[in-house]
Structure 1
């Protein structure tokens, strides 16, 4: 954990040194975001190592402001501190989507690589350690992580289209398609047990968002379906999984 925090410190210093590299419009927007009371409170909490409280503040800014790139960046950092790398990757990718040409984006991509390594170490029985994992296994794991990132980017793109102002028809269509993918059945163990049939392009993070409104329950879904899923990234289309309460 100490090594991880050292990486975060170096990233933070580099980001501060690049603050003046954005154009005028981005700089003005960034200034307004940094002055948001919730953002400032989040920074204060993060300095006090209250990472979950800080995360809640940054998510409030994201919900209230369109294009809150800096809040996505900070939310990603807090999630890494909380050892929750999958949603951290989502927020880092959001930052890059919003500010793809910024100098900071280069550093954020390195943070994504760090998050991928942390996630790989969390996979059951699959530590990313050259002494324990063969080269072919590492390559396969990297391909899985790249596929997961691609899914996250598609989700970001879809959310961006749905949230466009003046496009209610597209939003309604997307909502109907999402509802059609949900399968809720009665279980012999409990009448309220929910199940879901995996569709093409699904990830545990996206399934968690469908049922809980956020991606925080991705690990819970995996743990409830270890008998059906080989790993958190190996989702087979057509397999029915249990959605935990």
Structure 2
């Protein structure tokens, strides 16, 4: 009789643990989806808060650390926090498919931090040129990554970032233009003109003859600002 009781208790305990695991997984999935949506809207601080809440220390959290690293790196201009999350990503998935990409991001961020902390005192001209070139290439990769995520989220829609005809005409009528500088991204240009990075899609749409995707942005280009 005692053996049966112990077995029943063990069975019930295992069932409760499995139920708890499912609840935790569902909550983490929902938090990640909500964070993705906030990032897509350009609400990066809220996205960061939601991603942080989804972290549980498990190997499956690697993807969340990757997304946090990208946000801090490209959107928040915070290489220190970006490095933290990229390192956590590599700790959880040291041989993952994104490992080499993340190592390159970390290399760039470490140089950026070194430059900031040293006041450029110990960074040679050769290193500075190499850093700028790496920065441009890696920013293109990040823009392409965000564009891919945007395209995946818009699957089934007729076209990304649609603008009403009257809004397009209004943008051209204002006649504003901007010459792209080194290190610029569509998000940073959007911040200069609109005080928010979330309207970078409008700039992309207003310049179809030179920008088919965010990665086409190059120094020296003249953009129409709607």
Instruction: Settle same-fold status: TM greater than 0.5.
Output: no
Class of the TM-score when normalised by the shorter of the 2 chains: 0.3 to 0.5
- Give the structure with the higher percent helix: 2
Question: Which of 1 and 2 has greater Rg?
Answer: 2
TM norm structure 2: 0.39
Higher RCO (CA 8 Å, separation ≥ 6 residues): 2
